[in-house]
Structure 1
Amino acid sequence: MWIVCLLLDAALFAAYPFVGGFAGFLAVVIALAVTGAATGVARQVYSINVLRPEERVTAMAYQRSSLNVGFGIGALISGLVLAVDTIWAYRGMVWFIAVVFLVTAGFVRRLPRLPEVTRPAEPMSRLAVLRDRPFMAVALLSGLLTAHQTLYLTVMPLWILTHTDAPKTIIAGLVLLNTVLIVLFQVRASRGADDAPGAARASRRGAVLIAGFCLVLPVSGATRGPLTVAVLVAAATLLILAELIESAGAWGLTATLPPAAQRGAYVGAFGLGSQLQFLIAPAGLTALGVSTGGWGWYPAAALFVLVGLVIVPAVARAERTPRLPGVATSTDSVTPVP
């Protein structure tokens, strides 16, 4: 699945320059969203299956650090293309990305193959995971906490532009700060999240840090000059710490709660929580935090505190509740085939 989706990603990116209208563009974007989601699930399930339980969260932290190095290189390439500013430069960048997907597929093909996981005699419906209410409750709560991405890349820039006297260039500086801190500290921040209780506590700490961001950011609307910049950096740092810790919590939950025999379905279902966040948070948090002039940040902070309070008992309930009938509950790693 991972290799097939990477090949489809390459083909879809290669098709971008040939799109001549909105309908074609929308079709490519939707297809890339589907293959991107499937790629993420396949990569995560493979990582969980191939590694020992105590290694999984750390390995995913290294993946996140590497991903942000890639973001930095991609931003540099994008800047060069914008400086050249020709149609062939833009087409060349898109085709270069398609080639990168092909190269990545080649590397994935060289990874050790895994034997099939032993499955129940009566296969579970692919949608049956949605009936696992304790697990889906955790997925929803954890998904809500991924709002730190929306806050950092969408809502905070809008707040800076409309409610502060800070220079617009600070937005780029804060994005760079995010990339650097994640590269440097993601692995360290992931310690202790390799079992379900530790992952739940990490998620709770992430929620509290997001709430702290919601309380600090509106202060920048009442300050001037260098003090505004200092407040924005402080708020951004709180949100970056939230991302570092909450991400580790989410990885720990996906590594420990899903049963081995249905890991793909469960990891995919877990991602529905973050997809719901992406659907409602951009408009919801913008309306609450930015459009209200600032007072809406306080109920937003209360919401994240509530999620933090609820997620630990929710994880405990999911952990002690048997998964669906007929599903093996082992979370052990699988020995690769040489």
Structure 2
Amino acid sequence: MKRISPSDYVPATAAGRTFALTSLINAIGTGLFLAGSTVFFIRSVGLTTPQIGAGLAVSGFVGFLATVPIGALSDRIGARRTLIALQVWRALWFVALAYVHGFGGFLVVSSCLAAAEGATQPMTQAVASDTTEESDRTRTMAIVRTVRNIGFSVGALLAAPLLAADSMWAYRGIVLGNAAAFLASAVMLGRLRLVRASAAQRKVGPLTAIRGFRDWRYLGLAGLGGVLNLHTTLLSVGLPLWAMTATGVPAGFVPVLILVNTALSITLQVPVSRGAERPGGAARALRLSGFALAACCAALAAAHGLPPLLAGALLLAACVALTFGEMWQAVGSWDMSYAFAPEDRRGIYLSVFSLGNSGQRIVGPALVTGVVIAAGAAGWAALGVVFCLASVLVPPVTRALARQQREREAAQAQAQAPTQEQAQAEVQVSRAANEGAVA
């Protein structure tokens, strides 16, 4: 096995390095906002806790609805132009958020932000793939994810003195700092020189493109990705809540678990991505993700009611399994969602795939808190079975997609054959005419 070196954490191309820096700036702004958003909503916007939850739920649904139309639009104007427009849009609405007050204004602004945020991830994936060669795509996405984790941590640290200041302008500074990060990102994206030019896209309207999407195999892949993406809710909601309500560990142990997850993600995401670069590696990564998440559920179930020391050890084991499940899910999803998306419709395909993740963000918290944790150890066992089932379904879905891709390529080759024969005939006619003129 090849030893990991510092150069493995640096994209191979100048465009890839620029894009990684852009992602870092984005993540610092996002980490800054996430760390102080709840306090900002209460102290500056004047919201109650139920209003925050209701507003975020409505805006999340708006983002879910807007993702695919924006993806279809990107197939007409290009992924980079779309991503630049999304970053400018987000910057403008975060400026508006800094000065909004009351639930009505918050609902409008958060919905406008969510409309762009849902489509940002698939556009980021598409642009990142165009900054590097095909063979280095998965590693580059792993590097981007690594620098984003670093950026989130830096942003959270930068939010601490602003929150400590406890003033209206300090809270606004958190939001305006995020807006500035998005604007800087848009400027850098505008100057980015892509390594690979995107293929010619289908010039159809977004609504036509959406109505014409009937690829149930790819929808199956998106559904599996959404199930496995539950790791985000497990980390942010399930693991902390279960630790505090079902075990005797002290409250200070929960941040330790989050720190372990962040540290492992930063140091191991790039090495883990290597496995996906081998033939069949992406599908293998998705299968391993489901089994790792099932192991996490088993450890959480076993921690119920145990003494603090033993429960803490099981919670730590669950956190490590969760982190590996997260990393395997990420690399497998990046590679498979991109590889099985037709090049001339990549925007809408990647957006459809992201719907699984968006749906998980809407349904996941209620599922984990209202069903899994409410049912206790049996709930975790049932969720583990769901993860195992998702892993088992990966191979047949992958085979169906590969078979469809071969059929699509064969049809394209057959359609191009008459064109090539016609071109050869025209060359022969031209040659004969030239010979006749010389004679």
Determine if the TM-score, normalized by the shorter chain, exceeds 0.5: yes
1:118 aligns with 2:212: no
Higher relative contact order (CA 8 A, sep 6+): 1
Determine the structure 2 residue equivalent to 1:334.
Answer: none
Shift of 1:25: 0.8
TM-score by length of 2: 0.71
> Which of 285, 292, 301 is residue 202 of structure 1 equivalent to?
285
CA–CA separation in structure 2 for the residues paired with 1:280 and 1:82? 31
Residue type matched to 2:189 in 1? V
Determine the structure 1 residue equivalent to 2:173.
Answer: 92
* C-alpha contact 2:122 2:351 (8 A) present in aligned 1: yes
> Which of 320, 329, 350 is residue 237 of structure 1 equivalent to?
320
Higher helix share: 2
TM-score by length of 1: 0.91
Percent of paired sites with the same residue: 32
Moved >6 Å (runs of 4+): 121-124, 323-330
Q: Which moved more, 1:85-94 or 1:207-216?
A: 85-94
CA–CA separation in structure 2 for the residues paired with 1:328 and 1:82? 59
1:285 aligns with 2:368: yes
Determine the structure 2 residue equivalent to 1:303.
Answer: 386
| Structure 2: segments with no counterpart, 5+ residues | 1-81, 414-439
Residue type matched to 2:182 in 1? F
* C-alpha contact 1:181 1:240 (8 A) present in aligned 2: yes
* Bigger Rg, which one: 2
Alpha-carbon distance change, 50 to 128 in structure 1, aligned in 2, over 3 angstroms:
farther
Alignment of 1:252-267 (within 5 A): 252-267=335-350
Determine the structure 1 residue equivalent to 2:216.
Answer: 133
Alignment of 1:212-227 (within 5 A): 212-227=295-310
1:61 aligns with 2:142: yes
Determine the structure 1 residue equivalent to 2:255.
Answer: 172
Determine the structure 2 residue equivalent to 1:147.
Answer: 230
Residues 53-73 of structure 1, C-alpha deviations (whole Å, 9 max, x = no match): 211111000000000001101
2:277 counterpart SS class: coil
Shift of 1:117: 2.0
Determine the structure 2 residue equivalent to 1:333.
Answer: none
Residues 51-102 of structure 1, C-alpha deviations (whole Å, 9 max, x = no match): 2221111100000000000110111122222222222211111111111111
Residue type matched to 1:221 in 2? H
Residues 79-136 of structure 1, C-alpha deviations (whole Å, 9 max, x = no match): 2222222222111111111111111111111101565522458889321563101111
Alpha-carbon distance change, 195 to 258 in structure 1, aligned in 2, over 3 angstroms:
farther
Query: What count of residue pairs does the alignment treat as equivalent?
Result: 330
Alpha-carbon distance change, 165 to 53 in structure 1, aligned in 2, over 3 angstroms:
same
CA–CA separation in structure 1 for the residues paired with 2:89 and 2:202? 31
Q: Which moved more, 1:279-288 or 1:120-129?
A: 120-129
1:186 aligns with 2:274: no
1:221 counterpart SS class: coil
2:84 counterpart SS class: helix
* C-alpha contact 1:205 1:242 (8 A) present in aligned 2: yes
Alpha-carbon distance change, 151 to 258 in structure 1, aligned in 2, over 3 angstroms:
same
Q: Which moved more, 1:79-88 or 1:321-330?
A: 321-330
Q: Which moved more, 1:238-247 or 1:270-279?
A: 270-279
Q: Which moved more, 1:94-103 or 1:58-67?
A: 94-103
2:275 counterpart SS class: coil
Shift of 1:326: 11
Residues 212-239 of structure 1, C-alpha deviations (whole Å, 9 max, x = no match): 0010012222211222221111111110
1:82 counterpart SS class: helix
Determine the structure 1 residue equivalent to 2:422.
Answer: none
Determine the structure 1 residue equivalent to 2:53.
Answer: none
Shift of 1:298: 0.9
CA–CA separation in structure 1 for the residues paired with 2:108 and 2:204? 37
Shift of 1:159: 0.8
1:24 aligns with 2:81: no
TM-align CA RMSD: 2.4
